[in-house]
């Protein structure tokens, strides 16, 4: 993760980033309850971090809040009524640890949400 952060840093901010979201309100690999989630959602986080999430058997690498939210245009792509409801909950949830996608969207310089029924 540290090596990838160093390699990515000169290319930040990203012009654009596209992410999805789970019904648990995670995005990228920023899962509620994940180890190091608070650090990954910090404005001082490095661009890439290792994350271990409940229910995900393998360790993951993720772009952090500053890398995602700092992109010129962040696009969230979701499908289905259950994810629409989860998105509404995430946008109303003030605790970023419970709804990481809401924290990323609120921090984004420019965000678009694309929803397909």
Q: Is the peptide bond before 13 cis (omega within 30 degrees of 0)?
A: yes
Please give the average per-residue pLDDT across 1-11, as a whole number: 97
> Is residue 55 pLDDT above 80, yes or no?
no
Q: What is the H or E stretch that residue 113 is in?
A: strand 111-116
Give me the residues paired with residue 116 across strands. 79
pTM of the shown model: 0.93
CA–CA dist 96, 32 (Å, integer):
8
The whole-number pLDDT of residue 86 equals 98
HSE of 68, CA atoms in CB hemisphere, 13 A: 29
How large is the average pLDDT for residues 69-81?
97
Spatial strand order of the sheet with 17-19 comes to 17-19, 74-79, 111-116
Range of lowest pLDDT (17-21, 58-62, 83-87) = 58-62
Instruction: End-to-end CA distance of the chain: give it in Å, rounded.
Output: 36
Please give the structure tokens belonging to residue 53: 């999430």
Q: Averaged over 68-81, what is the pLDDT? A: 97
């Amino acid at each position: 993760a540290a090596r990838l952060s160093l390699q990515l840093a000169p290319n930040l901010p990203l012009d654009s980033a596209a992410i999805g979201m789970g019904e648990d309100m995670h995005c990228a690999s920023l899962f509620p309850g994940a180890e190091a989630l608070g650090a990954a959602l910090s404005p001082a986080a490095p661009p890439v971090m290792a994350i271990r999430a409940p229910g995900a058997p393998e360790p993951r690498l993720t772009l952090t809040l500053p890398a995602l939210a700092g992109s010129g245009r962040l696009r969230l792509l979701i499908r289905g009524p259950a994810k629409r409801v989860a998105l509404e909950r995430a946008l109303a949830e003030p605790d970023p640890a419970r709804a990481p996608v809401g924290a990323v969207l609120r921090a984004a310089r420019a965000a678009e949400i694309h929803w397909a029924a």
